[in-house]
Structure 1
Amino acid sequence: MTATHHPTPAAPAFDDAFRSQLQTLFRWRRDVRHFRTTPIPPATVAALFETASLAPSVGLCQPWRFVMVDSPQRRAAVRASFERCNGEALASQDPALAPAYARLKLAGFDAAPCQFAVFAECDPAQGHGLGRRTMPETTAYSAVMAVHTLWLAARALGIGLGWVSILEPAIMHEILDVPRDWQFIGYFCLGYPQTEDDTPELERFGWAERQPTAAATIRR
C-alpha cells in the first residue's frame, strides 16, 4: 500500500468569539418535532450531507448510509410503524406516566419537508477492518457521529432535525428496500422549526430534567 502525502495546511486560530458562538450552537441544538412546511433547497440538503461526511469514523470506514425518503407511500409505511410502536410504548407506560406520555409529540412526519433514514454498513470494505475487530459496534457509533455533525450544521443554518427512534428496525429494512445487514440507526425529519427554544421540549413539558455533568463523571 502506497501512502498518499498531502501538504500540511496551517491550523486555523479559533478565537474566544468563535468558541462562544460554538457553545451557543451546542445549546441551541434541539430535537425538533414542530416544523414549517417550507421546502429546503436541494443544494442545502446536499451540503448538509457533505458536512455530515466529515464526521470521524472508525478506520476511516465511513459506514453511514443516508436513505432519502421522498415516496409518499414509503413515508406512510414509516408512519404506520411508528404508530404501532408508539401505541405499544404507551400501553407499557406506568399508569402515572401514561397521560404525560400521550401528550408528547414524538415525530414530525406531517410537516417536515425532508425525511431520511440513516443506516450503518456493519462491515464495509473501506477502512480494511481497522479498529473494529474487538468492537464491531464502532461502525454504528461512527454513523451516529455523522448524524450529530449534520445536526449541528443544520442548526447553524436555522434548520431543525428530529430523530424518530420509535420504529421497528426490521420493518424499516423492508419499507426502504436496503440490505438486511445494514444496521438501522434512525429516521430523521428535517425542516425549518415552527418555534425556537434553547431548552429541550421534554424538559419544558416536565418529562425529564437535564442532569449536571458531575452526575455522569466518575474518577478512578
Structure 2
Amino acid sequence: MFPVLVLLAGQPGQPKDWFTGGRLATTMNTFAHGHGGLAPVVVVADATGSTWGNPLCVDSPLGNAATYLAQDVPAWITTHLQVDRDPTNWAIGGLSLGGTCALQMATNYPDVYPTFLDLSGDPEPTLGDHQQTLVVAFGGSQQAFDKIDPMTLLRGHRYPNSAGAFLVGDHDHDLQPRMHAACEAAAAAGMDVHYVEVRGATISGSGPVASSPRWTG
C-alpha cells in the first residue's frame, strides 16, 4: 500500500495549479526515480471551493472546511484508492493559504495528519484583517479563534509524534520572520521540523516555492 500526500492550493488558486505552475507530475516522477519507481498517492483537494474563496480551513459560517479535510477527504481516499491506512504514512501540504491550512490540520488533527508541508503559509488563518476574521468566521470571539489557531495550539499542546517542513522563498522577506517563528513554535511543542529558505524562489512568479524539488526532500 502507498503513502498519501494531500496537497492544497493557495488563494487565488485552484487545485490544477499544482499540475501547472507547481509541476507536480514532474516532481513526483523525479521522486519515484530516486525511490525504486515508487511515489506517494497524491490527492489535490479543493479546500477553497473557488479561485478566490477562503473558508479558512475551519468549520464556520463560511463552510465546514475542517470537516471536509479531516474527515471527508480521508474517507474518500481510503474508500477509493489503494493506500496505507496508517496515518503515520500520511502528509498534508500546501502553498500560501494551503500552507496555512496544512499547519492548521497538523495542529488541530495530528492523528489524521501527523506530517505536514507548509510552503510560504501564514502562521494563522486570516481574511486579511484579524478583526474581520473574528467577525466573519468566529462570531467575533477571540476565544473561538484561539481554539483552532496553530500558534495558540503549539503553545498549549505537545506534538511528539508530528513532523513537518516550513519552506519559503529567499526573496519573500516579509514571510520569512513569520515562517521562522512558526517553525520555532512547532519545535518547542515537540514536533520534528525544519525551516528552509529556497534559493531564488518566491511565493509566486518565475521561481515558485511549489516547484522546488526541496519540498520532497
Give the structure-1-normalised TM-score: 0.28
Larger Rg: 1
User: Taking CA–CA contacts closer than 8 Å with sequence separation of 6 or more, which of the two structures ends up with the larger relative contact order?
Assistant: 1
Structure that is richer in strand per residue: 2
